[in-house]
Homo-oligomer: A and B are copies of this chain.
Amino acid sequence: MIIEIADRTVEPLVTRIVESAHDVRTLLFSERIFITVSGDERCIDKDRLKATPGVLRVVDTGRSPYFLASRECKDEDTHIQVGESVFGGNRLVIIAGPCAVENLEDTLETAEALKRVGISLLRAGAYKPRTTPYNFQGLGRAGLEILGEVRRKVGIGIVSEVMSPEDVETTAGYVDVLQVGTFNMTNSALLKRLGRTDRPVLLKRGASSTIAELLKAAEFIVYNGNPSVILCERGIKTHETATRNTLDLSAVPVLKRLSHLPVVVDPSHATGQSALVPVMSKCALVAGADGLLIESHVRPETMIRPGDGDQALLPAQVGSLIKELRALGRVVGRRV
């Protein structure tokens, strides 16, 4: 249950009415004041709540389980500024970079090459989610150091994944956007901790999760105090095997209709094939995406995991794609 109140004078009374629940908090969001209620609602007198002066609305979170993330709560688009880029505005934001930080040289060279073609946000992982312990797990703290150095030297923003609540604070010290990977979309301990950082969060949809489940995961972050969530469609698990996952492009207009949060598309992980990345990137722009997340590396063939190279574009190819997107953007009313 969420209660929107007119001003803080009603807070004590409302809090008293709902105190039988497990967790009652006051949240300032979108210049409004909400009392959020979690847990047992059975003893709360809803009629009394509604009749209380200063209570603007009582939201049934059973029916609106991602109220804070929804247009029902906030109609205008949320803009999230990262350096000079703004997610959620008219201009398409392109994040590019290698899957994992493998060493300083490659990361630096890739970042510089991408910067030259106009990219201002580098994605690269220091902590890598893997399905087996034998795959390269990322350089961890050493990877963060590399990213910090690249950020200073190149003057590029950094997007990087965090996998454990324990690493959130340290990682936030090195990067501009904290990424939640598809394997951790349902990791609510991590989502809760990310609600208490001031870094924007790029939240990837779980490969078997619905749009509503993605929005409910975003709700955990906003509810815990961080309004800056960028949603990411990255392909879902289906019976199709010709592509690694199935890019759900209809999810883009659906998410934009349901939520005020920005939406980016990751065509690299969705398709797993670099040859499909340009065409699906263009489709994503037409579908209304606010940004793209594109795998890129200066020497894809040298990447530790061979599969990662298959889906990476060269920085020059990212540059060509940007030009094509720009031409297309002019027809659909978008800047690139």
The digit string for A40-64, where 1 denotes a CB below 8 A from any CB of B, is: 1010000000000000000001100
A253 adjacent to chain B (CB < 8 Å): yes
Across the interface, which residues of B come within 8 angstroms of A279, CB to CB? Answer: 253, 286-288
Whether the Cβ atoms of B238 and A246 lie closer than 8 Å is yes
Whether the Cβ atoms of A132 and B61 lie closer than 8 Å is yes
Whether the Cβ atoms of A270 and B250 lie closer than 8 Å is yes
Across the interface, which residues of B come within 8 angstroms of A251, CB to CB? Answer: 240, 242
Q: Which of A276-297 contact B (CB under 8 A)?
A: 276, 279-280, 282-283, 286-288
Contact partner, A133, options B210, B223, B246, B270, Cβ 8 Å: B223
Whether the Cβ atoms of A133 and B280 lie closer than 8 Å is no
Cα A224 to Cα B327 with chains together (Å): 45
Whether the Cβ atoms of B220 and A133 lie closer than 8 Å is yes
Whether the Cβ atoms of B137 and A22 lie closer than 8 Å is yes
Cα A240 to Cα B280 with chains together (Å): 20
A1's nearest neighbour on chain B, judged by CB, is B134
Cα A239 to Cα B164 with chains together (Å): 27
Cα A331 to Cα B334 with chains together (Å): 14
Which segment of A147-155, A181-189, A311-319 sits at the interface? A181-189
The digit string for A127-146, where 1 denotes a CB below 8 A from any CB of B, is: 10111111111010000000
Cα A39 to Cα B136 with chains together (Å): 4
